[in-house]
Amino acid sequence: MSTHDDEILIGSLLDESWLTLEQVAAACAVEPDWLILHIQEGLFPRVECLAGTWRFSSACLLRARRMRQLERDFDAGPELAALVADMLDELDALRESLRKVGQG
């Protein structure tokens, strides 16, 4: 499955859903401790903990996958991976805005 297909799947199926720490860890092929460490470092600003259970949105899942790929493929540190993930999110938002303008 391509990255674009992953994004369609994530965006289409999970917009209204919440994922657990274990589900996100499995989807990213990482240990839950990897996510916890990144949460503690403030690299997932939109993640929630309710009644002791971490809840991740589809956007958090995409961010985690991007960060893990950057850390693995480029040996990027967590902070750099988070910064690049922020920039990629911004690019996605700008592309979506351009797409909407083009259709309007």
90: CATH? 1.10.1660.10
Sequence-distant (≥ 6) Cβ neighbours of residue 20 within 8 angstroms:
53, 54, 55, 56
What pLDDT shows up at residue 103? 79
Per-residue pLDDT tens digits for 20-38: 999 999 999 999 999 999 9
pTM of the model: 0.80
How would residue 14 be classed by pLDDT, with cut points 50, 70 and 90?
A: very low
Count: domains in the chain: 1
Q: Which domain holds residue 34?
A: 3-103
User: For a pLDDT cut of 70, what percent of the chain falls above it?
Assistant: 84
**Does the structure show a pLDDT above 80 at 46?**
yes
